[in-house]
Structure 1
């Protein structure tokens, strides 16, 4: 079972924490509420987040990492007009965090500093841990803001 550490509740009532995932992956966790969502008790946010993250075995994480790297390599290759090696993308891709919603939707957050400087890659998963959507957005501390689509939704 995955356990959250360093749990904090911010002024918006959202939980943030850290945890260790299988394979020695240390990540930040955010339990994100919609602006119009009803408040959720801290213990319930923790329970939902831990249950969602517990489904991520080392094998599942390795598979997801590989699929993210492959999809990003295709997107980067299309932008550059050349083939990009999946292994090169995978070598740079780092799982930094996870976002969990009250509905237990799980979004993994990756960084690839050379390939996507000042950006994060979001990977939304479905109930079977298959990729639903993969996108890249500029980090919050970047003044320009805005979104850049890294790849189309997966099927």
Structure 2
């Protein structure tokens, strides 16, 4: 039996010692460890990229929400402004009717109010509310003096 084992042996130049096999095994283990570390690093890098993407999306959402909140706030301000405009017009009409002490027929007053409402509608979006308020206050001041 020894003879058959010996006959199957590799030629002497291709034989590998037990020590070199152990050393190769250690090196393979080190290579595997390094490959696992590389995979972990790549996974961390990908995770950081994904977190960065998530943060960018969250920032976009926050900016959009701020813009929408600003739009709503501006709309509310504009609505308040035009309500004040209507109130000023009503005061002007009341002052005019009281100063002149004229008894206009209801149809004339309705027509006048309709014209004023149309003028107010045409102003919407064309002028800044603060400017118009100042102008309106000065007009009221001039009318009352």
Q: TM class, shorter-chain normalised?
A: under 0.3
Normalising by structure 1, what TM-score?
Answer: 0.26
More helix by share: 2
Higher-RCO chain (CA-CA 8 Å, sequence separation at least 6): 2
Normalising by structure 2, what TM-score?
Answer: 0.27
**Structure with the greater alpha carbon radius of gyration:** 2
More strand by share: 1
